[in-house]
Amino acid sequence: MEFSATKHWIVTAVALVLILFLIVVYLWLNSDGEDESEEVAEPDPKSESSIAQVDPAPQFPPRKLRRAWLEPSGTDPDGIDPPQNVSQDSTYVMLTGDYDQWLIGTPVEVVIPQTKKRYRSIVDRIAPDDFGNITIHTNPDVGEDEFLHLIMTLDNSHTFAYVSTTAGSYEFVGSKQGGWITPSSSLHQNIDYSEVDVLKTRRDRHVNTKYVPRREE
């Protein structure tokens, strides 16, 4: 009788130990699973940085639209007499005077009075020199197929500009307030390319000149 009681106590003790062992194993497995889930849920800083770089900031902040020059309100501006050497195809335009506010990336509207065409361009380069002159270069804006470039040089009292389009080129000469824009073809017609040779005979020095196409870069 005493032996059976001892046997029963041993079986009970073994059962309790086994149950405790199973409980400890169960808790240990669950704790590992929670740790793994927490590690997976942690955000990856590298992935966040890569997502942030999908939409990069624009190269330049938004710039205010500028105009290369303005057409006078009247057909013949009062108090402005055209110089004697100005071509009949020339048209007077007024300068805006805000060229010191042009920056790289500034949109510039270039109007040609002779054709009433307006071109969209973007400032590409600003080059000051050691003499106080500033030369501004603009290239075509996105989607502008007829405009090629504008080169504008300003000093303390004079302004010069050259506009190139698919329809032709134009040149501007004036002061800081305004000046005359003329088709380049008209300017070339008024230039005397002749010269006197050693026999005192006047000849056109370009009569035998051959046109050399521009090399494609």
CA-based nearest residue to 149, from 131, 133, 134, 161: 161
Residue range 197-210, pLDDT digits in tens? 566 666 555 555 55
Residue range 111-161, pLDDT digits in tens? 999 999 999 999 999 999 999 999 999 999 999 999 999 999 999 999 999
Extents of the domains making up the chain: 2-52, 66-204
Backbone CA torsion sign across 39, 41, 47, 53: negative
Do 145 and 193 touch, CB atoms closer than 8 A? no
pLDDT given at position 49: 53
Residue range 15-57, pLDDT digits in tens? 777 787 777 777 777 765 555 545 554 555 555 555 445 555 5
Question: Is residue 184 classed exposed, middle or buried when 0-12, 13-18 and 19+ CB atoms within 10 A define those classes?
Answer: middle
Pairing of strands 168-174, 178-183: antiparallel
Mean pLDDT estimate for the chain: 78
Q: Which residue has the tokens 């920056």?
A: 103
The residues that bridge with 109 in the sheet, in sequence order, are 67, 120
Q: Is 212 helix (H, G, I), strand (E, B) or coil?
A: coil
